[in-house]
Structure 1
Amino acid sequence: MASVSASHLILFIASMMIAASVAGVFTDSIGQLSGAISEQGFDVSSEVRTDVEIISDSGSDAVYQNGNITLYVKNTGTERLAAESGQLDIFVNGQFATAYEVTRADGDGAWQPGTVVRVDIDPPQSSLSGDVRVQLTVNGDEEVFNFRV
């Protein structure tokens, strides 16, 4: 009878040790999952608050001069954006443009809601002709601007 109690006690202690180690692993995994969900929520929140509008006139000769494209883009969202190169993804006629400069139209500083930036693009093609399509992406917000050269 005592041997049955001793074996039950050993099995009980072993099962408690296994349960404690499994609980520790689950707690760590749930903490990591919670952190990842929080980060993703912050990114989605930033994307939702970001909205820009290209306010350049597609019929103006000032859009395409000397082989460069000049666009004026207004921050119409509530997210404060960085007015610097590398924050925008720009495609000209489907080709990724890496040579561009972003400057605040009314001075230096961040791209606050309601302010306008000037984007000077050196298109990937050596010369443009006919219909031109420029796609601008900021924090997941896409805007398309079409003009004719």
Structure 2
Amino acid sequence: MASVSTSHLILFIASLIIAASVAGTFTQGVQRLSSALGDRSIDLSGDIRTDISIISDPASGAVYNSAGEENITVLVKNTGSRPLEAESDQLEVIVDGKYQTSIAVTVLDGSAWRVGNVVRLEIDQSLSGGDHRVKIIVNGDEEVLQFRT
């Protein structure tokens, strides 16, 4: 009879050790998942609060300067609910399907690109006559301007 009690005691202790290790593994996994979800929700919150609008009039002829400098000028308004970085490395600009790196960014009405403020983007790009597209991406928010030269 003592051998049965001893074997039951050994199996009981072994099952407790296994249960504790499984619980520790699950706890670590849940903590990592929770942390990842928290980080993702912060990123998503920033994306949701970001909104821009292109306010340039494509029919005005002021978008493309064909005399002299040959550049594209686009006015973009911050219509979201948070300030944005008015730096060329924070904006993605695509002209006719080509990524642009030579962009000058100027805040027109203030010192920073706050909610309601407008920035002027000057893109060094020579264009031929015809239809063109400028796509601007800021924190996942995309706006497209179509114009004719």
TM normalised by structure 2 equals 0.92
Structure 1 match to 2:70: 67
Instruction: State how far apart, in whole Å, the 2-side matches of 1:116 and 1:102 are.
Output: 10
Partner SS, residue 30 of structure 1: helix
Aligned-pair Cα RMSD in Å: 1.3
Where do 1:37-76 residues align within 5 Å?
37-65=37-65, 66-76=69-79
Where do 1:105-124 residues align within 5 Å?
105-109=108-112, 111-123=113-125
Structure 2 gap ranges (5+): none
Structure 2 match to 1:133: 133
The letter for the 2-side match of 1:120 is: E
Structure 1 residue 24 displacement after superposition: 0.8
Instruction: State how far apart, in whole Å, the 1-side matches of 2:32 and 2:87 are.
Output: 33
Structure 1 residue 128 displacement after superposition: 3.1
Contact 2:72-2:124 within 8 A present in 1 as well: yes
Instruction: State how far apart, in whole Å, the 1-side matches of 2:77 and 2:128 are.
Output: 25
Are positions 1:99 and 2:97 aligned together?
no
Structure 1 residue 117 displacement after superposition: 0.7
Structure 1 gap ranges (5+): none
The letter for the 2-side match of 1:92 is: V
Q: Which runs of 4+ in 1 moved over 2 A?
A: 106-109, 126-129
Structure 2 match to 1:82: 85
Instruction: State how far apart, in whole Å, the 1-side matches of 2:40 and 2:129 are.
Output: 42
Structure 1 match to 2:4: 4
Where do 1:15-26 residues align within 5 Å?
15-26=15-26
Deviations 1:51-105 (A, max 9, x none): 1101111122321112211111000110211110111111101111121121211
**Identical positions, percent:** 55
Aligned residues: 146
Instruction: State how far apart, in whole Å, the 2-side matches of 1:47 and 1:129 are.
Output: 36
Instruction: State how far apart, in whole Å, the 2-side matches of 1:95 and 1:23 are.
Output: 52
Instruction: State how far apart, in whole Å, the 1-side matches of 2:46 and 2:145 are.
Output: 23
Instruction: State how far apart, in whole Å, the 1-side matches of 2:105 and 2:35 are.
Output: 34
